[in-house]
Each structure stands twice: as structure tokens, then as C-alpha cells.
Structure 1
Amino acid sequence: MIEILTPAQVDRARRTGALVADILHSLRERSAVGTNLLDLDRWTAEMIREAGAESCYVDYAPSFGSGPFAHYVCTSVNDAVLHGRPRDLALSDGDLVTLDLAVRLDGVAADSAISFLVGESRPAESVDLIETTRAALAAGIAAAGPGARIGDLSHAIGTVLRSAGYPINMQFGGHGIGTTMHQDPHVSNDGRPGRGYQLRPGLLLALEPWIMVDTDELVTDEDGWTLRSATGCRTAHSEHTIAITEDGAEILTLPTSREG
């Protein structure tokens, strides 16, 4: 299903997007050496409840997972890149953490992910990974607007990732979003321009470039959810929910506490 939202729904999506971004910003500020992933999950649940929102993850049980996700935020560390199930793990200096969060507020969902380093260590390889996903996300957003096609966004994202020398996995990518978290159209992280669904005002998309240093192959943890690089290399993931407007694209998942 491809859903086109009304102006009133898009306005509600702005509030949902700001909530998602603010929660992620708070979690990043609280992520320090020694912070436990289960604490991040608990804090997320508290902030969702306080906002009167609902989690898109806790009861989520798609075909590629193993039963309900049963947690409130995805916590992927180092070689984990997608669907990281929170577990009893304390963060260490230099860990590369990805937090991915989707919630629904007033009937409309928003989805975003951030990658960052914990502590004082700043390994160059990890910094490059994170910056490349952010640049690819910005390129995808810049290519979005009424009349553009999904392939234009995929091509823009893929061009940045390929130019930086990273392999690209085509199994998981961006997606439509609206009154539910995952909708059509699928947005691959590489593609041919001029192909695919033509964007219209009122369409919401979650764009999410993610990469692994030296492989495009994933392996699944015993938890049935956490996806890791097949070689054990580090990974990064950046995501925003955007709304297609009459004259371009609007990023909905920016924190109210700061820009960017």
C-alpha cells in the first residue's frame, strides 16, 4: 500500500517526527561509557509513555524477525547494523552505536536512526562510516520532491556510498510510512534514476542508507533479530522521515532542541 496523507495528517506527522528525534537526541546524550543497552530501552519506553505515544516496535513481528521484537528501540553496536535487540551490554569507549526508533502519535508514525561514537575514542574508520551515511541521506533528501521518482533517490544515495568505496546491501532499505510504520514504496540504497514510483505531495518516506566496511552480507544473531556484518566489520546507519511537499521535501525527524 502507498498512502498519501492529508495536510492535517502531515501536520500530525511533524509532531511525531519531532518526538522521535527528541527521544533519539536524549538517548545519545545519555549514552556514555558504562551505559547499558537495557537502560536505553527502558528510558525509551518511559519517554514514549510520557508523550502519550505508542511504540511501533514492541509488538512488531514481521516475517524476517523471530516473534515480536519486544523492545522499544533498536540498539546496534559495532558490527551490528539493523534491528539490534537491546541486551545486557554496557557500552565501552569507542563503541559505534546505532539507535533506530519508530513511534506513532495521534495515528501517524515516524522513523529515524542515528549512529555515533561513545566516549573519547574517535577511530577514523568509524568516523568515515558515519559521515558517509549522513552524506548519502542528505543526497537522497535533496533528490526528493514532487515529480521525482524513487529511482532518483536510490541513485543519489548509492552514488555517495559507491563513491566512498563501500559495498551496498540491497535487501533492506528505506520505505513508505504513514499511519503504519512500513509501507510501499521500497527505497533501495542504490538504483537507476528515472525509474519507479513518482513522488506526490503528501507521501512520507523513511530514507535510511546503511553500510558495512568491507561486505554487503549480513548474518542474524541467535536472538532472531539483530543483523550483523558477515565479516565482523563495523557498520553505520542514518535515517530520516521526510514529507513530500508541493515544492520539495521536508525533514520531519529533526529534534526541537537543536537543528541538524
Structure 2
Amino acid sequence: MIEILNASQLSRARDTGALVADILGTLRGRVTPGTNLLDIDRWTKEMITEAGALSCYVDYAPSFGRGPFGHYICTGVNDAVLHGRPHDYTLANGDLLSLDLAVSLRGLAADSAISFIVGDARPKESVAMISTTERALAAGIAAARPGARTGDISHAIGTVLGEAGYPVNTEFGGHGIGSTMHQDPHIANTGRPGRGYPLRPGLMLALEPWVMADTADLVFDADGWTLRSATGCRTAHSEHTIAITDEGAEVLTLPRQAR
């Protein structure tokens, strides 16, 4: 399913995006060495509930998972890059943490992810990896405009990732979003320009460049959800929800004061 939003729906989606951004910003400010992943999940639940919103994850049960996800946020630590299921783990100084959050408010969903280093350690390789995913995300957003195609976004993202020397996995990537969290079209993190679904105003997309330091291969945890790098190397993930407008791409998952 591919949805094209009208002006009223887009207005509601802006509210959802701002909520997602605010929750992620609050979590980033609270996380310190000694924080448990289950605390992050509990804080997320409290903020979603207080806002009168709904989690897109608690009952999420796609074909590749093992039953409903059962938590409110994805928490990936170090080599865990996607669908990290919160568990009893206490974060340490220097851990690379990725937080991926999708919420629905008044019938419209928004999805965003951030990666950052816990505490005051700054491992050079981890900093570079996070920066690369952020630059790739910015490049994908810049390529998203009416008349372009999904392949143009994929090409822009993949160029940044590839030039930085990272292998690119195409199994999981960006996606359409609207009244549900995951919709068509799929947006791989590398691709050929001029190919794919044509972009038009009202289309909402979640773009999510992610990389693993030295491999493109993933392995599943025993929980059936958490995806890790096959070599145990560190990983990073950045994501925004955008809407295609007549002028280009509007980033919806920014805090209101940053718009």
C-alpha cells in the first residue's frame, strides 16, 4: 500500500513527528552510563501514554519477527543495529547506542532513529560511523523532491556510505509510512538513480541509512528480533520521516524549535 496524504493528514503527521523527536531528545538527555535498556523502554512508554499516542511496536508482529515485539522502542547497543529488543543490560561509558522509535498519533505514524555514544568517551571509529549515517540521511533528504524517484534517494544515500568505505546491506532500509508504520515503497540504502517509484507531493517516507563497520551480513539474536553485525563489529543508524511537498522534502521528525 502507498498512501498520498492530504493537507489535513500532513498537519497531523507533523504533530506525530514532533512527538517522536521530542521523545528521542528526552531519552538522549537522560541516558548515562548505568542506565538500563529496560528503563529506556519504561520512560518511552510513559511519554507515549502521556501524549495520548500509540506505540507502533508493542503489537508489531511481521513475518521476520518471533511473535509481537512487546516493547516501546528499539535499543541497539554496539553490534546490534536493527530491531534491538530492550533487555536487562546496563549501559557502559563508550557504548554506541541506537534508539529507533515509531509512534502513531491521531491516526498518523512517524518513525525516527538516532545513534550516539554513551557517556564522555569518544571512540574515533564510532564517531565517524555515526557521522556518516547522518550525512547519508541528509543526502537522501536532499534528493527527495517531486519528479525524482526512490532510486535517486537510494543512490544519494549509497554514495555517501560507499565513499566512506562501509559495506551496504539492502535487506532492510527505508519505507513508506502513513496510517501504518511500514508501507511501500521500499527504499534501499544504495541503488541506481532514475529508477523506482516516482515521488509526488503528499507521499511520506522514512529514510534510514544504517551501516556496520566491516560487513554487510546480519545475524539474528535468540530473541528472534535483534539484528547484529555478523562479525561483532559496531554499527550505527540514523532515520527521519519526511513528507514530499511541492518545494521538496519536509523533515517531520525534528523538534518544533528546530524547524
TM-score (norm 2): 0.99
Structure 1 residue ranges, 4+ long, deviating more than 3 angstroms after superposition: none
1:47 match: secondary structure: helix
Equivalent residue number for residue 9 of structure 1? 9
Specify the code of the residue in structure 1 equivalent to 2:52: G
1:155 match: secondary structure: helix
User: 1:41-66: CA deviations, max 9, x gaps?
Assistant: 00000000000000000000000100
1:126 match: secondary structure: helix
Provide the rounded CA distance (Å) in 2 between the counterparts of 1:119 and 1:55: 28
User: 1:69-124: CA deviations, max 9, x gaps?
Assistant: 00000000000000000000010000000000000001000000000000111000
User: 1:169-204: CA deviations, max 9, x gaps?
Assistant: 000000000000000000000000000110010000
Provide the rounded CA distance (Å) in 1 between the counterparts of 2:229 and 2:196: 29
Equivalent residue number for residue 164 of structure 1? 164
Q: How many residue pairs were aligned?
A: 259
Provide the rounded CA distance (Å) in 1 between the counterparts of 2:17 and 2:242: 9
Equivalent residue number for residue 174 of structure 1? 174
Provide the rounded CA distance (Å) in 2 between the counterparts of 1:211 and 1:162: 10
Sequence identity, in percent? 75
**Aligned-residue offset at 1:236:** 0.1
Provide the rounded CA distance (Å) in 2 between the counterparts of 1:112 and 1:88: 23
Equivalent residue number for residue 117 of structure 1? 117
Does 1:216 pair with 2:216? yes
1:43 match: secondary structure: helix
**Aligned-residue offset at 1:247:** 1.2
Equivalent residue number for residue 203 of structure 1? 203
1:10 match: secondary structure: helix
Equivalent residue number for residue 39 of structure 1? 39
Provide the rounded CA distance (Å) in 2 between the counterparts of 1:78 and 1:123: 12
Provide the rounded CA distance (Å) in 2 between the counterparts of 1:197 and 1:228: 30
Provide the rounded CA distance (Å) in 2 between the counterparts of 1:233 and 1:183: 30
2:184 match: secondary structure: strand
Give runs of aligned pairs for residues 66-215 of structure 1, distance below 5 A: 66-215=66-215
Provide the rounded CA distance (Å) in 2 between the counterparts of 1:222 and 1:158: 30
Specify the code of the residue in structure 1 equivalent to 2:75: T
Provide the rounded CA distance (Å) in 2 between the counterparts of 1:246 and 1:121: 43
**Aligned-residue offset at 1:25:** 0.5
Does 1:259 pair with 2:248? no
Provide the rounded CA distance (Å) in 1 between the counterparts of 2:179 and 2:198: 20
1:241 match: secondary structure: strand
Provide the rounded CA distance (Å) in 1 between the counterparts of 2:48 and 2:255: 15
1:250 match: secondary structure: strand
Give runs of aligned pairs for residues 15-34 of structure 1, distance below 5 A: 15-34=15-34
Superposed CA RMSD: 0.7
